[in-house]
Structure 1
Amino acid sequence: MSSITISAIRPRTSILDKSLSKGKGEVSLSCFALLFSELVQYCQNRVYTVPELQNKLAEIGAEVGHRITDLLVVREKGGKREIKLLNVLLFIKSTVWKSLFGREADKLEHANDDERTYYIIEKESLVNKFVSVPKDKGSLNCASFVAGIVEAVLCDCGFPAKVTAHWHKGTTYMVKFDDAVVARDKQLEDR
Structure 2
Amino acid sequence: MGPNSVFLSLFLLSLTFTILLPLYSSSSLPTQNSTDLISKTCNQTGDYYFNQTAAYDFCVASLESDPRSSSGDVSVFVEILIELASSNVSHTYPYIYQLYNETSEFVMKDRLSVCLKMYESMGRELKEAHYSLSIKNYGGVIDNMGYALDDTVTCAEGFYEPPVRKSPFSQQTSVLEHLCRITLAIDNILVKGSF
Indicate whether the TM-score tops 0.5: no
Task: Tell me the TM-score normalised to structure 1 length.
Answer: 0.32
**Rg larger in 1 or in 2?**
1
- The answer to which structure has the higher strand fraction is 1
TM-score (norm: length of structure 2): 0.32
Higher relative contact order (CA 8 A, sep 6+): 2
